Amino acid sequence: GAGVSQSPSNKVTEKGKDVELRCDPISGHTALYWYRQSLGQGLEFLIYFQGNSAPDKSGLPSDRFSAERTGGSVSTLTIQRTQQEDSAVYLCASSPLVTSGEETQYFGPGTRLLVL
């Protein structure tokens, strides 16, 4: 179907509040990734889901960050007690299947998070 969608597109919050970011991957894609991109920087890997396997959380910067993926489809990234340094664009990507690493990742438009 359509490409990867993310919501909200923009989020402004106050320091200390919790936020939830949502990602709808391309239908049928088994792999889902979250990345973070600070202004003028490259993308930083956060977490990876593949099918029913345990997620790879090795990129999460602190225990304030968590993510889940329900029913192998939609994913939610939660940031608790937000800090100003959490301000960034959060990008979600999906790919059909992870085998040899050749699978192209398809990115959503991102959620621009600003923590005041």
Partner 1 sequence: GQSLEQPSEVTAVEGAIVQINCTYQTSGFYGLSWYQQHDGGAPTFLSYNGLDGLEETGRFSSFLSRSDSYGYLLLQELQMKDSASYFCAVDDYKLSFGAGTTVTVRA
| Residues engaged in binding partner 1 (CB under 8 A) | 4, 31, 33, 35, 41-45, 48, 50, 56, 59, 91, 98, 100-102, 104-110
CA pair distance 53, 43, nearest whole angstrom: 24
CA pair distance 49, 31, nearest whole angstrom: 6
Nearer to partner 1 by C-beta: 17 or 45?
A: 45
Question: Least distance (Å) from partner 1 to the CB of residue 5?
Answer: 11
Nearer to partner 1 by C-beta: 82 or 110?
A: 110
Question: Least distance (Å) from partner 1 to the CB of residue 101?
Answer: 3
- Look at residues 48, 109, 116 and name the one whose alpha carbon lies nearest to residue 86: 116
- Look at residues 115, 105, 109 and name the one whose alpha carbon lies nearest to residue 45: 105
- Look at residues 62, 67, 83, 82 and name the one whose alpha carbon lies nearest to residue 6: 67
Question: Least distance (Å) from partner 1 to the CB of residue 42?
Answer: 4
Question: Least distance (Å) from partner 1 to the CB of residue 93?
Answer: 8
Nearer to partner 1 by C-beta: 25 or 110?
A: 110
Nearer to partner 1 by C-beta: 33 or 65?
A: 33
Sign of the C-alpha dihedral computed for residues 104, 59, 61 and 63 taken in this order: positive
